[in-house]
Structure 1
């Protein structure tokens, strides 16, 4: 059984300056054909059981009540964790009630900053007051958990701005935070207009402050960009990080079935005419084993050594003895798992390069 499914909704009201995901401004000319192809793709997988379902984008909360209901009803009625990505300006009271009635039990809200000036820099459509209002509405709903996204390292963002964002987050008593350092993507508005990354030392100081402050407030730093109160981690994202298969459905979605990864077409016109048109990614056993290490070491759950040994026909401790010795101060062990401490997560990329040097 494939335990998880990601559905990509590629439509947005506007294009955020940092975004390089597959997204287009919603166009009614394409929408009906897109929905027809999406439903056909869902049906082709004959999904009878799911642990997690994630509607991402794009902006899934742009879907009308009727369109959302129609798409959702092609999935199993009972799902352990059902997440929908939303933007504050498009999550209406009506849609929130609909999500509750259709089994959505987790929302991921794209806030990005609690400073209106920085929201404008990012070309976000909402204001801080809108975001706070929607957060309070979610907290009063029956949806059992939710997360917000924040970005640090934005153009002209200061350490004081970051402290303000974290202070606002804590004051709102939100159970989960996904916080990302700005990456300047070539095809984003920032990339095309020549925006430069912030000073690397300042970025490191920001991340250190974020980690220390949230951990002192009782949040678990369970993945390099993810913090949560106990029991509120994202079960869907753990499917990616713990080497599990997952369906990827929709234009621009990626998935993995029987260990084989695939990417659907990113061309909306092609998707509307021909469907998903997946490209399958050929990987050696060594490449797949390295992917498993890279993803697992992002998390405090770490890598299950025995499971890795069995799946990839190798002895992890023996094969990577030199790396484990070199970075011994950064690794922790629990039963059959290995994971990085906070200092190790800060140099994750450096450690992974040494893993990749061993064949």
Structure 2
């Protein structure tokens, strides 16, 4: 059984300056054909059991409730975790209630900052006060959990700005945070207008402050960019990090079935006329094994070496003995699991390069 499913909703009301995902401003010319092809794609798999379902984008909360329901109803009724990405300006009280009625039990809210000047720089359509109002609305609902996204290292963002964002986050008593350093993507507005990345030392200082402050407040730093209160992990994202298969539906979506990864077409015009047109990624067993290591070491749960050995027909400790010895001060062991301590997570990319150099 494939336990998880990601559905990509490519439409947005406006384009954020940092975004390089497959997205387009909502266009009624394409929309009905897109929805028809998406429903056909999903129904072709006859899914009867699912652990997690995630509607991402784009801006899923831009969909009308009737359009949302027609897509949601392609899936089983009972889903352990059903997450929808939302923007504050498109999540009102009626829509939130409808989501709950349709089985949504987790919202991922794109806040990005509680600083109105930085929101304007990012071309966001909401204000900080709007975001706070929506957060309070979610807290009054019957949703079992929710998360917000924040970004640090934004243009002209100071350490004091970051401290204020984290202070506001903590004051709101939110159960989960995904926080990312700004990456300047070539095809984003920032990339096309020559915005320079944040100074690397300042970025490192910001991340260290974020980590120490949230951990001191009782949040679990369970993945490089993810913090949560106990019991509020993102089950869907854990499926990615723990080497599980997942369906990917929609224009621009990616998936993995029987260990084989695929990317659907990113052309909305092509998707609307021909469907997903997936391209399959031809990886060797050793390449898949390396992917599993890269994803697992992002988390505090780490890699189960026994399972990895069986799945990828190798002996992890023997094959990577030189890397484990070189970075022995950063690795921790718990039974069959290996994971990185906080200092190791800070140099994860460096460690992974050494893993990849092993044939």
**TM interval, short-chain normalised:** over 0.9
Equivalent residue of 2:70, what SS? Answer: helix
Match of 1:190 in 2: 190
Query: What per-residue deviation string (whole Å, max 9, x for no partner) do you get for residues 116-174 of structure 1?
Result: 00000000000000000000000000000000000000000000000000000000000
Match of 1:237 in 2: 237
Query: What per-residue deviation string (whole Å, max 9, x for no partner) do you get for residues 189-209 of structure 1?
Result: 000000000110000000000
Match of 2:249 in 1: 249
Q: Is 1:67–2:67 an aligned residue pair?
A: yes
Q: Structure 2: how far apart are the matches of 1:45 and 1:118?
A: 43
Match of 2:215 in 1: 215
Equivalent residue of 1:157, what SS? Answer: coil
Q: Structure 2: how far apart are the matches of 1:234 and 1:279?
A: 28
Q: Is 1:353–2:353 an aligned residue pair?
A: yes
Q: Structure 1: how far apart are the matches of 2:15 and 2:100?
A: 28
Query: What per-residue deviation string (whole Å, max 9, x for no partner) do you get for residues 83-104 of structure 1?
Result: 0000000001111000110110
Query: What per-residue deviation string (whole Å, max 9, x for no partner) do you get for residues 249-288 of structure 1?
Result: 0000000000000000000000000000000000001100
**Which deviates more from structure 2 when the two are superposed, residues 327-336 or residues 121-130?**
327-336
What pairs up with 1:111-126 in 2 under 5 angstroms?
111-126=111-126
Cα deviation for residue 295 of structure 1 reads 0.2
Q: Structure 2: how far apart are the matches of 1:39 and 1:143?
A: 26
TM-score of the two chains, using structure 1 as the length reference? 1.00
Equivalent residue of 1:322, what SS? Answer: helix
Query: What per-residue deviation string (whole Å, max 9, x for no partner) do you get for residues 66-109 of structure 1?
Result: 10111111100000000000000000111100011011000000
Match of 1:297 in 2: 297
What pairs up with 1:101-180 in 2 under 5 angstroms?
101-180=101-180
Cα deviation for residue 45 of structure 1 reads 1.0
Q: Is 1:269–2:269 an aligned residue pair?
A: yes
Q: Structure 2: how far apart are the matches of 1:307 and 1:46?
A: 29
Q: Structure 1: how far apart are the matches of 2:198 and 2:134?
A: 31
Equivalent residue of 1:256, what SS? Answer: strand
Q: Is 1:24–2:19 an aligned residue pair?
A: no
Q: Structure 2: how far apart are the matches of 1:46 and 1:337?
A: 35
Match of 1:288 in 2: 288
**Which deviates more from structure 2 when the two are superposed, residues 331-340 or residues 79-88?**
331-340
Equivalent residue of 1:79, what SS? Answer: coil
Q: Structure 2: how far apart are the matches of 1:331 and 1:220?
A: 18
Q: Structure 2: how far apart are the matches of 1:264 and 1:130?
A: 35
Structure 1 gaps of 5+ residues are none
Q: Structure 2: how far apart are the matches of 1:88 and 1:182?
A: 20
Equivalent residue of 1:6, what SS? Answer: strand
Q: Structure 2: how far apart are the matches of 1:54 and 1:112?
A: 19
Q: Is 1:10–2:18 an aligned residue pair?
A: no
Equivalent residue of 1:50, what SS? Answer: coil
Q: Structure 1: how far apart are the matches of 2:169 and 2:332?
A: 29
Structure 2 gaps of 5+ residues are none
TM-score of the two chains, using structure 2 as the length reference? 1.00
Q: Structure 2: how far apart are the matches of 1:256 and 1:177?
A: 26
Match of 2:226 in 1: 226
Alignment root-mean-square deviation, CA: 0.4
Q: Structure 1: how far apart are the matches of 2:171 and 2:353?
A: 39
